[in-house]
């Protein structure tokens, strides 16, 4: 027969754990709404800044890009990888999925003959890769509960410094994109060097078809304006250097800041779901143990009654 005291102690312990998981679920739920709003508010601005910089970069001649350190293309021998995880656990498979993706990326880079060098964000990534042989350039731990622009600036400056000093020849970001309260996806995105959008070109087939079949006057005028737009020169005031001096740091910081916001929101949503599942499992386990306790108690009472009746019969 099960020990009633042990079952009672176990039920009490699980109830205490249930209170903790329930409290953590409520805290995460209260934070994730605000985090989701921050992500949704930052996405349009980040997209606009990225598009503006990429369009500006596409207007710069290739020969001029060699004079811009963060746009200069060179042979890739080492790759910097920014890995964004959390400081704390108890958030389901959130950190595990990121570390698995990062580990796979590191292995793929090494198989390709490239040297990975890490910039680690969060205690989880730092603790895991501390035991690895991969070189770590920078690590950022003790993250604020709400991502800050100051932290994004520090991370962006670390990546920029590594690229300009030729410590790495390319920089990537591994993080998570928030999709919904139940889903987030792990990504690998290119960060440095800054690549421009491919310039639109009029295909030879279009020219040949136009000459073979003369288009109406309106179509010829539209084609002429389109070609003029592609070949036009963009002027930068007061100069290209001054525009990029303000634009590039804003772009780098904003990309990192938005990645931190997405990661923070994904972490909170994952923690809320994990604590919700833990609370539900604790409730089910308490119900099962309560049934076992009651059955054992009833069996004990029945046995005691049987012994009393047997003793009375023996006295007769």
Domain total in the chain: 1
CATH of the domain at 188: 3.40.1380.10
265 an active-site residue?
Answer: no
User: In this structure, is residue 216 part of a structural domain?
Assistant: no
CA-CA-CA-CA torsion for 38, 40, 42, 44, nearest 10 degrees? -170
Give φ, ψ of 235 to 5 degrees. Answer: -100, 135
User: In this structure, is residue 213 part of a structural domain?
Assistant: no
Task: Report the SS3 class of residue 140.
Answer: strand
**What secondary structure letter does DSSP report for 85?**
-
User: In this structure, is residue 223 part of a structural domain?
Assistant: no
Mark out the alpha helices in 82-146 (DSSP H runs).
94-111, 123-129
Q: What is the pLDDT along the chain (316 residues), one digit of tens a residue?
A: 568 888 889 999 999 999 999 999 999 998 999 999 999 998 998 888 888 887 777 767 666 666 677 887 888 999 999 999 999 888 889 999 999 999 999 999 999 999 999 999 999 999 999 888 888 999 998 888 899 999 999 999 999 999 999 899 999 999 999 998 888 999 999 998 887 665 544 344 444 444 444 445 545 544 554 444 444 456 666 666 677 777 888 889 999 999 999 999 999 999 999 999 999 999 999 999 999 888 888 887 887 787 777 777 777 7
Residue found under tokens 């731990």: 141
User: In this structure, is residue 190 part of a structural domain?
Assistant: yes
Element (H, E) at 281: helix 240-315
User: In this structure, is residue 92 part of a structural domain?
Assistant: yes
Residue found under tokens 């990975």: 116
Task: Report the SS3 class of residue 31.
Answer: helix
Half-sphere exposure of 179 (CA within 13 A, CB side): 8
User: In this structure, is residue 95 part of a structural domain?
Assistant: yes
User: In this structure, is residue 214 part of a structural domain?
Assistant: no
Look up the domain containing 114 and give its range: 30-194+234-273
User: In this structure, is residue 238 part of a structural domain?
Assistant: yes
Rounded CA gap, 223 and 228, in Å? Answer: 9
The single residue of 81, 91, 155, 192 carrying the catalytic annotation is: 91
Rounded CA gap, 159 and 141, in Å? Answer: 16
């Amino acid at each position: 027969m099960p020990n009633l005291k042990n079952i009672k102690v176990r039920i009490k312990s699980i109830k205490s754990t249930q209170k903790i998981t329930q409290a953590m679920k409520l805290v995460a739920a209260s934070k994730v709404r605000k985090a989701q709003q921050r992500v949704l508010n930052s996405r349009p601005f980040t997209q606009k800044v990225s598009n503006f910089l990429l369009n500006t970069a596409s207007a710069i001649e290739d020969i001029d890009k060699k004079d811009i350190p963060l746009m200069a293309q060179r042979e890739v021998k080492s790759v910097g990888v920014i890995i964004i995880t959390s400081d704390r656990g108890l958030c389901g498979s959130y950190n595990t999925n990121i570390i698995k993706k990062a580990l796979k990326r590191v292995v793929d880079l090494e198989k390709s003959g490239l040297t990975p060098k890490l910039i680690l964000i969060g205690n989880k990534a730092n603790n895991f890769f501390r035991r690895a042989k991969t070189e770590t350039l920078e690590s950022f731990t003790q993250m604020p509960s709400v991502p800050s622009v100051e932290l994004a600036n520090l991370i962006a400056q670390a990546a920029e410094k590594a690229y300009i000093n030729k410590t790495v020849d390319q920089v990537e970001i591994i993080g998570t994109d928030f999709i919904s309260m139940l889903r987030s996806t792990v990504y690998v995105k290119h960060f440095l060097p800054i690549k421009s959008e491919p310039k639109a070109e009029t295909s030879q087939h279009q020219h040949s078809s136009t000459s073979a079949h003369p288009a109406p006057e309106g179509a010829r005028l539209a084609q002429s304006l389109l070609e003029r737009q592609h070949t036009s020169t963009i002027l930068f005031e007061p100069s290209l250097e001054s525009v990029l001096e303000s634009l590039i740091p804003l772009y780098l910081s904003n990309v990192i800041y938005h990645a931190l916001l997405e990661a923070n929101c994904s972490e909170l949503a994952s923690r809320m779901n994990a604590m919700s599942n833990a609370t539900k499992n604790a409730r089910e386990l308490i119900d099962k143990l309560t049934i076992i306790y009651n059955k054992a108690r009833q069996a004990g009472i029945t046995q005691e009654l049987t012994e009393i009746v047997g003793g009375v019969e023996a006295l007769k």
